[in-house]
Amino acid sequence: MDPFTVSTTISRPREEVFEYLADIANHAEFSDHYQVDWHLTREDPYGQGAGARFRIKAPLSRFSWADVTLAELQPPFKIVERGRGGKYNRIRMLGTYTLSPGPGGTTRVEYTLETQPAMLSDRLMETFAGRGWNRRQAAKALRRLRTILEEGRGRGKRASVAGRD
């Protein structure tokens, strides 16, 4: 799928937004409306190498499990997550959070998602059900992120290590 970008402006310092996003367990709080059943892949959810596995509630999706790992962190500018999903984890995913300073101590957060389907059937599914739906869900996730960081409300369930509460 061609990459898409969604963005929002958060009335918090860039360093604070970066610290929140660098902890992958926090991602479940703002994206649990379409990514559910989060489980961390290691005990330490912060920083490079931290990862999680979750299920995507996409329409027409029979193979909904995916995983992501924080692959690159450039404080306080950028966080890159790499992952795989779909049948046999054959669809590669690349997500990038770019944080830019805004006026008055605000932070502009841009999230870009790119997928690389391996098979024609995967490409067809993304064409009919994937791109627009993913874009809408990512935009809603950023709105929820803004609410959580600015107002301290709207939090979903925080992810934990599989087998723990």
Query: What is the pLDDT of the chain when averaged over all its residues?
Result: 89
CB 44 within 8 A of CB 18: no
Residue bearing the bigger pLDDT, 156 or 106: 106
In the chain the first and final C-alpha atoms are separated, in Å, by: 36
CATH at 148: 3.30.530.20
Q: Count CA atoms within 13 Å of residue 26 on its CB side.
A: 18
- 41 compared with 152, residue with greater pLDDT: 41
What average pLDDT does this structure show over 26-39?
94
Per-residue pLDDT at 165 exceeds 70: no
What is the predicted pLDDT for the residue at 121?
67
Q: What does DSSP assign to residue 23? A: B
Residue with tokens 């509460």: 165
Per the structure, the complete domain to which residue 18 belongs is given by 4-161
- Higher-confidence residue of 163 and 162: namely 162
Q: At 9, list the tokens.
A: 């402006």
* Domain total of the chain: 1
For residue 98 the two structure tokens come to: 């770019």
